[in-house]
Amino acid sequence: MTQLSLAKWWTTLENNAVRCELCPRHCVIPENAHGYCAVRQNHSGELFSLAFGRPVSIAIDPIEKKPLARFLPGTRTFSLGTFGCNLGCIFCQNDSLSRETYTETDLGQFIPPEQLVELAQEHHCPSISYTYNEPTVFAEYVCDIARLAHAAGLKNVLVSNGFIEDQPADELYPLMDATNIDMKGFSQSFYDRMCQASLAPVLHSLEKMHSLGVHLEITTLVIPGQNDDLEELSKWLDWVDAHLGRETPLHFSAYHPAYRCRIPRTPPATLYAIRDLAVQYGFPNVFLGNI
């Protein structure tokens, strides 16, 4: 147990069970079991983070890859991710990380927060990005790194699905300088059938980031026949205009078959039509990806 880190944001229940309060799932986790994300585990009535200090993917990326088009353009960002995710997207484009977990016999190398900040500095990266899988599931680690990054003069970037509860968001989000949040599809039915989650917490996260003054960009992975309806997207643009403002950069990216989804990839013409719609609405920062 000395190799695991105690998690935050949970309460004790009867029979050594715990309730995780990190995200809207509120997983009730019996002893020796994991939450939905597979990286938060109950040991003897306490919740531990298997992901704390255990990044499984580290790279140096162009900031535009996050994607961020209007934050530190032309720079490189020190990027890291772990295993685990709190959504169940059947179309996941990175399931080798999001759907995997650690084992008690193979937790991988422990890398403390200060070492990651030092590595970012050594590679002359002005920012650290929490990305690849869902950073919410390793939020304790993100917070510790982010505080040290700020002390060292570095910026923090969060690439997230926005599916998080208020208390952890209130600790995590103010530490960020920029974020890209995925809006999977502008309907509860899409989140139900494609993500096993809900839309409302994501919209709440977008509003929270905006209210904090964090640089915000939004990405939608466009899946044919699922979230590419122009009437529905018009409602999404109305929502952004009313709640965040038209200056908010919007990214629309092409999907390709992955994980448990075999819908054919997104035609470029679909993305061009969405871009034209957003431009007609008066959005000046619209970007297409994976074409």
pLDDT digits (tens, 9 = 90+) for 74-128: 999 999 999 999 999 999 999 999 999 998 777 889 999 999 999 999 999 999 9
Instruction: Give whole-number Cα distances, 104 to 9, 38, 54, 215, in Å.
Output: 22, 12, 12, 38
Q: Do 45 and 189 sit in the same domain of this protein?
A: no
pLDDT for the residue numbered 139: 98
- Number of independent structural domains in the chain: 2
Q: Do 114 and 247 sit in the same domain of this protein?
A: yes
Q: Do 249 and 151 sit in the same domain of this protein?
A: yes
pLDDT mean across residues, the chain: 97
Q: Do 231 and 173 sit in the same domain of this protein?
A: yes
Domain that holds residue 16: 5-49
* b/e code 206-223 from CB counts within 10 Å (16+ = b): bebbbeeebbbbbbbbbb
Q: Do 166 and 203 sit in the same domain of this protein?
A: yes
Per run of 10 residues, the mean pLDDT along the chain (length 291 residues) is: 84 98 98 97 97 97 98 98 98 96 86 98 98 98 98 98 98 98 98 98 98 98 98 98 98 98 98 98 98 91
Q: Do 25 and 85 sit in the same domain of this protein?
A: no
pLDDT for the residue numbered 1: 44
How far apart (Å, rounded) are the C-alpha atoms in residues 45 and 137? 19
Q: Do 186 and 252 sit in the same domain of this protein?
A: yes
